[in-house]
Every structure is written in structure tokens, then in C-alpha cells.
């Protein structure tokens, strides 16, 4: 069978790579062509377009890059037609994927969506597009199944793919070995800085995160450098700080030894919580994009951790609240307040149980796609 998969960011590349492995388990002769990243390519797919060339974040940024986005869409449609797949699989990334789903469905291709767009947060009317253009929707958050049932659209809850990924990673780790390899003083506390995978979000948030390191000279701050981000770009921010180092492409190693973390909003907030690392969620966008989002977005939290648990487990510092002063206050509490650490551990244990209830997400999704075909 021939599979065409589209992911538009680092998290989609990660989950897409595991889906590809599961597809290949079911279909040894599979021919898989993707928009994604290095992980999907390493899993055995033919990479056509890298997500770093697709990732535009925020309303103002999308508008300014509209010609590039439209050119990518045109090329994608042409490439799908040429490849003529048995199924087109979409991973989140709705601004791009939903128009392509409309095209694919109209052309008669089977369509599957793995990891639903967050239409429960905003643009709920997209449900009509999804019902029309998506043959199979597979969701990874428990409340999403309930949301779709409200619209009389049957979906499959497959569990969260991060559970199996993190469980597999943690099987063989040795925290002391990791610290030795990284040259980290065992007596020092470690704070992970995860500023994101897009240059524009790193530029807005990392400088504020780094300034906070000056207030904790006894703590080791380590920046998790995402794939696709150059050393020179990260070092342009970090070079002047004494207690800051950079770790490239080893986010899980970093989280396994971290005592606390400053994390940009997105999938990384959930990964950090599943590693049981107390965190502060940091978000800062352009003033125009934030003003528009504030009017449109209907949920009361921006982090997946708080949304899933429907309460504030992690502190969110959003827009003007994201200051060095506020980070210092919150980080001091995370590092040195034992009662708060205990409560966080209990909450994240509950989070894990909830997300693991669906089973092994990537294999379950691959099985559902196989049944479709």
C-alpha cells in the first residue's frame, strides 16, 4: 500500500515516526511519502518537505508568509496526485492539513487524521469540514471523544502516543550516567529550558528564560536545542551566561535529570509533566496574534497538562506575565518547596493513568488505518 503523511512540526514528526514504524509492522511492503522531519525519514519514509520550512506560528506571521504557504499547498496537491496514494494521513497542523484533506477527499483518496486539530479550543465550526473530508479521525485526548460525540461524529480514542514513547525511553536510563556524560555536577540542581522548535518563538521567549538564570547562580540551566535549530542561532542567545549550557537533540536525557523546567507551550509541556518534572509554561506571541487569539480561544488554559486535568497543575506565564521577576518567584517555589513537589507528583501520576488508558496509540492508529484499507 502507498501512504502519504503530512506533519508540520517537531511533535508531529515524532509521532509520525512511530506511526510509520507501526504501519511497516502491518504492511512490510508499504511505500510511505511524507512531509515531516528527520525522525519520519529515519523511520523509513521518503521525506519531501521538512517541517522547518512549514512552521509559521501566529496570525500575523501566517499572513506575512501567505505566498510561501500557498505555494507549499499547490506543490503538496500536485505531489499527492503524482504519488497516487491509497490513503492520505494528516497529523494535527490544521491550517495546512484541512485544505489538503478537502482536496484529497474530492479527488477520491481515503483520508485519515491522527491527532485531532484542537477545534474544541477554537474554530469549532471546523467540525463541519472534518465530517465532510475525513474518513477516519483518531484522537489522543480523552475529552476529544466526548467533544466529537456532541457533533454526532464517531472517532476512535487511541491513547496518547507520548506514553509509549516515554515509557520505552525510561526503561534503560541511568540518571547518574547521563549527568556524568554531560559533565554536570551531581550536587547542582538542573533547570531545563525548552524554548520551542521555531525560531520566532525562541527569539521571543528564550532571552527572558535566560535572564532568570542570573538569579540562580548555584543552579545549572540547560537549553534543550530542538532539531532543525542551528548551533549558531542558539549560541547567539546563550553565550553571555555563566551557568547556562546547551544540549542538542537530547530533550529526554535533559528531562530525565531536571529538577524543574521552563517550557514553551505545546507538546513539550505534556512531555515534561510525564517525566514528573515541575514546570512553568511560558508563552509570548506577537501583540497582534495574542490579541486575536484571546478573543477567539475558548479554553481557560493554554497548556495541555492543565487542559487534560481540568485544573491548574502547572503555572502558566502568558504574554505580559512572562517576566524574569515572575519566573524567579515561581522557580524558587518549584525548586525548594517540598510540599509543592509532592502535590505535583500526585497530579502527574493521575495524568499518566488517564492518558495510558487508550492503549499503544501508534499501533492502534496503524491498525485502524489498516482496517480502512
Q: Which three cell numbers stand for residue 242?
A: 555563566
Q: Residue 317's closest CA among 254, 237, 261?
A: 261
Q: What CATH fold (topology level) applies to the domain 166-355?
A: Rossmann fold (3.40.50)
Contact at 8 Å (CB) between 226 and 254?
no
Q: Residue 115's closest CA among 99, 96, 94?
A: 94
Give 153: exposed, middle or buried? Use CB within 10 Å, 0-12, 13-18, 19+.
middle
Q: Residue 224's closest CA among 277, 171, 161?
A: 277
Flag whether pLDDT at 65 surpasses 70: no
User: Dihedral angle at the C-alpha atoms of 74, 78, 83, 84, nearest 10 degrees?
Assistant: 100
C-alpha count within 13 angstroms, C-beta hemisphere, residue 189: 16
Q: What is the pLDDT of residue 289?
A: 57
Beta bridge pairs of residue 315: 280
> Residue 8 contacts by C-beta under 8 Å, 6 or more apart in sequence?
35, 51, 54, 55, 91, 92, 93, 96, 97
Cα–Cα distance measured from residue 16 to residue 103, given in angstroms and rounded to the nearest whole number:
21
Angle at 172 between CA 170 and CA 173, to 5 degrees: 70
First to last CA, the chain: 9
Angle at 333 between CA 197 and CA 201, to 5 degrees: 15
> Residue 259 contacts by C-beta under 8 Å, 6 or more apart in sequence?
189, 190, 191, 277, 278, 334, 335
Average pLDDT over residues 52-65: 58
More confident residue, 65 or 72: 72
Q: What is the pLDDT of residue 297?
A: 57
Q: Residue 14's closest CA among 234, 281, 254, 226?
A: 226
* 284 confidence band (pLDDT: 50, 70, 90): confident
Q: Residue 230's closest CA among 17, 13, 55, 52?
A: 52
Residue with cell string 509543592: 340
Strongest mean pLDDT among 98-107, 174-183, 197-206? 98-107
Tens digit of pLDDT for each residue in 201-259? 899 999 999 999 999 999 999 999 987 799 999 999 999 999 999 999 899 999 999 99
The CATH code belonging to domain 2-159+359-372 is 3.40.50.2000
> Any idea how long the chain is?
373
| pLDDT > 90 in the chain, percent | 69
> Residue 308 contacts by C-beta under 8 Å, 6 or more apart in sequence?
141, 142, 143, 270, 351, 354, 355
Average pLDDT over residues 319-344: 94
Give 31: exposed, middle or buried? Use CB within 10 Å, 0-12, 13-18, 19+.
middle
Flag whether pLDDT at 58 surpasses 70: no
pTM of the model: 0.79
* 286 confidence band (pLDDT: 50, 70, 90): low
- Pairing type for strands 279-283 and 315-318 reads parallel
Contact at 8 Å (CB) between 206 and 327?
no
More confident residue, 70 or 291: 70
Q: Please, where in the chain does CATH 3.40.50.2000 lie?
A: 2-159+359-372, 166-355
Amino acid at each position: 500500500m502507498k501512504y502519504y503523511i503530512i506533519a508540520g512540526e517537531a511533535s508531529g514528526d515524532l509521532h509520525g515516526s512511530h506511526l510509520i514504524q507501526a504501519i511497516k509492522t502491518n504492511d512490510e511492503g508499504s511505500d510511505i511519502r511524507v512531509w515531516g522531519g528527520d525522525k519520519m525519514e529515519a523511520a523509513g519514509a521518503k521525506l519531501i518537505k521538512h517541517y522547518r520550512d512549514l512552521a509559521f506560528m501566529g496570525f500575523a506571521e501566517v499572513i506575512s508568509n501567505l505566498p510561501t504557504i500557498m505555494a507549499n499547498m499547490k506543490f503538496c496537491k500536485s505531489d499527492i496526485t503524482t504519488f497516487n496514494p491509497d490513503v492520505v494521513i494528516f497529523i494535527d497542523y490544521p491550517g495546512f492539513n484541512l485544505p489538503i484533506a478537502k482536496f484529497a477527499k474530492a479527488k477520491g483518496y481515503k483520508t485519515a487524521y491522527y491527532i485531532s486539530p484542537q477545534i474544541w479550543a477554537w474554530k469549532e465550526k471546523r467540525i463541519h469540514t472534518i465530517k465532510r473530508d475525513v474518513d477516519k479521525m483518531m484522537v489522543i485526548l480523552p475529552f476529544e471523544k466526548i467533544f466529537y460525540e456532541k457533533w454526532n461524529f464517531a472517532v476512535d480514542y487511541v491513547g496518547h502516543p507520548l506514553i509509549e514513547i516515554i515509557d520505552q525511553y525510561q526503561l534503560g536510563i541511568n540518571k547518574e550516567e547521563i549527568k556524568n556524560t554531560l559533565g554536570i555536577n551531581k550536587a547542582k540542581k538542573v533547570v531545563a529550558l525548552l524554548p520551542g522548535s521555531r525560531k520566532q518563538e525562541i527569539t521571543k521567549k528564550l532571552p527572558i528564560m535566560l535572564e532568570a538564570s542570573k538569579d540562580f547562580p548555584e543552579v545549572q540551566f540547560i537549553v534543550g536545542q530542538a532539531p532543525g535549530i542551528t548551533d549558531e542561532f542558539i549560541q547567539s542567545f546563550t553565550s553571555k551566561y555563566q551557568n547556562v549550557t546547551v544540549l542538542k537533540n537530547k530533550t529526554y536525557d535533559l528531562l530525565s535529570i531536571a529538577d524543574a523546567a521552563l517550557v514553551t507551550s505545546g507538546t513539550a509541556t505534556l512531555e515534561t509533566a510525564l517525566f514528573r518534572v515541575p514546570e512553568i509554561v511560558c508563552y509570548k506571541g506577537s501583540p497582534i496574534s495574542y490579541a486575536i487569539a484571546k478573543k477567539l480561544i475558548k479554553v481557560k488554559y493554554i497548556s495541555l497538562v492543565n487542559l487534560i486535568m481540568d485544573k491548574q497543575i502547572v503555572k502558566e506565564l502568558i504574554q505580559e506575565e512572562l517576566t524574569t521577576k515572575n519566573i524567579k518567584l515561581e522557580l524558587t517555589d518549584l525548586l525548594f518547596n517540598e510540599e509543592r513537589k509532592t502535590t505535583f507528583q500526585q497530579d502527574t501520576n493521575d495524568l499518566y493513568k488517564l492518558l495510558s488508558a487508550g492503549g499503544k496509540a501508534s499501533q492502534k492508529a496503524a491498525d485502524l488505518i489498516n482496517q480502512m484499507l
